[in-house]
């Protein structure tokens, strides 16, 4: 069986929890994750001043090499919400019917790409821009292959929803047991 590969986009002032939890749990479940700096920087600082060294520059990655696109939220998401490179990549994943996972304010970026599902969840900070159809902590639109999460406090539920859709419920169960998640 082919190992699934996630492309996680990093940008200045991303929300660290929304990146580290899905990346860590995905890797624990055998999913390969590549982090890429949208601005091609060698280091990216989160909204809580945690510096991360991305695996690659965003300009060097190709959507066809990945199965899933992961977009964390955070204050910096507002600065990159209309970044054409990112929007084009989102559209490419969507057209190729690949999974897209967006948490917190990142569903606003999906809206800007024209890929927001009918049922989704997002952080209250985008309430004016989005008419959220759910207040659930994580929501999957199987038809559009889009997973959305509410915000930092829902990072685990969002990650487990992602894993469930990518590798199955057994992987989620094993991961929860392995980290003593209740």
Contact 120, 142 (CB under 8 A): no
Domain assignment of residue 51, yes or no: yes
Domain of 162: which CATH number?
Answer: 3.40.50.880
Helix axes 169-178, 16-28, angle to 10 degrees: 110
- Would you say residue 95 lies in a domain? yes
| Global confidence as pTM | 0.97
pLDDT computed for residue 133 by the predictor: 82
Strand order in the sheet with 146-149: 56-57, 32-37, 5-10, 68-71, 99-103, 146-149, 138-141
For residue 2, pLDDT over 80 is answered with no
Q: What is the pLDDT of residues 82-135, one digit of tens each?
A: 999 999 999 999 999 999 999 999 999 999 999 999 999 999 999 889 988 888
Which domain does 163 fall in, by range? 5-176
* 1 — pLDDT class (breaks 50, 70, 90): low
For the chain, the domain total comes to 1
Specify if 181 maps to a domain. Answer: no
């Amino acid at each position: 069986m082919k190992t699934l590969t996630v492309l996680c986009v990093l940008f200045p002032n991303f929300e660290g929890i929304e990146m580290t939890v899905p990346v860590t749990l995905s890797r624990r479940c055998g999913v390969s994750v590549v982090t890429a700096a949208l601005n091609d920087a060698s280091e990216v600082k989160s909204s809580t001043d945690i510096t991360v060294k991305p695996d690659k520059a965003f300009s060097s990655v190709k959507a066809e090499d990945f199965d899933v696109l992961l977009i964390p939220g955070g204050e910096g998401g507002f600065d990159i919400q209309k970044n054409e490179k990112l929007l084009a990549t989102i559209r490419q994943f969507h057209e190729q019917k690949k999974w897209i996972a967006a948490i917190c304010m990142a569903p606003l970026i999906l809206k800007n790409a024209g890929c927001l599902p009918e049922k989704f969840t997002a952080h209250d900070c985008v309430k004016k821009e989005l008419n959220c159809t759910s207040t659930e902590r994580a929501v999957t639109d199987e038809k559009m292959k889009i997973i959305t999460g509410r915000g930092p406090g829902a990072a685990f539920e969002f990650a487990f929803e992602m894993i469930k859709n990518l590798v199955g419920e057994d992987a989620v169960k094993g991961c929860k047991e392995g980290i003593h998640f209740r």
